[in-house]
Amino acid sequence: MQRAETVARIEREGIVAVLRLDDPHKLHAVIDALAVGGVRVFEVTMTVPGAIELIGRLARDLTEDVLLGAGTVVDATTAAAAIDAGARFVVGPVFRREVIDVCHERGVPAMPGCFTPTEILDAWDAGADIVKVFPSTSLGPTFIKDIRAPLPQLKLMPTGGVSLDNAAEWLRAGAVAVGVGSALVDAAVVNAGNFDALSRRAQWLVANVRDVRRAADTTTA
């Protein structure tokens, strides 16, 4: 999959599930449960024990309709290792130009984390394919709308503070996708092995995103 195609896929899906687990042995089961609910894009963070090796195994085992990426990447060496293992996009909590460079050298989208308008535009000008607005916890959907009013070319993905209930608001405000972590992959639910509950959460989130997209299509028709 070419870089532009991967970006288009992320935009089309609208949801990136951020997987930050203490127990790496449950990662595959979590992905399977979320996939049953309709989520197809997954970000395995580098805070997961053995994340690079896990990405390698998952890249071999998962079906082609699942898009697997690496998250919490803060240096070029880690980015290269994740891509070589099979990550098809790379997300960072901060903006590091060298991470963008190594991703593009390997034909993979880079999604750095930024907070201020200046930082967001600097990352975009450096070649970011999508800018992760992070942390979004202290912000709100109007922040996305306000940024894109003078800078409509930006592709923004809020992460942190995105819940099952407000994900649609972020998309309506102009986000191309949302990164959803603990609101979707609740630690207590995972530890209890209640994977059916994860599937139901995913179904609810996917339905909300589809409703937003249908409404947007109707408005522009």
Q: Which of 94, 130, 100, 122 has its CA nearest to residue 16?
A: 130
Per-residue model confidence as pLDDT tens for the chain (221 residues) = 699 999 999 999 999 999 999 999 999 999 999 999 999 999 999 999 999 999 999 999 999 899 999 999 999 999 999 999 999 999 999 999 999 999 999 999 999 999 999 999 999 999 999 999 999 998 999 999 999 999 999 999 999 989 999 999 999 999 999 999 999 999 999 999 999 999 999 999 999 999 998 887 777 65
Q: Which of 62, 78, 90, 79 has its CA nearest to residue 3?
A: 90
Domain count, the chain: 1
Selected catalytic residue, list 5, 26, 43, 98 = 43
Selected catalytic residue, list 13, 132, 145, 169 = 132
pTM (2 decimals)? Answer: 0.95
Q: Is 132 a catalytic residue?
A: yes
CATH number at residue 50: 3.20.20.70
Q: Which domain holds residue 50?
A: 3-220
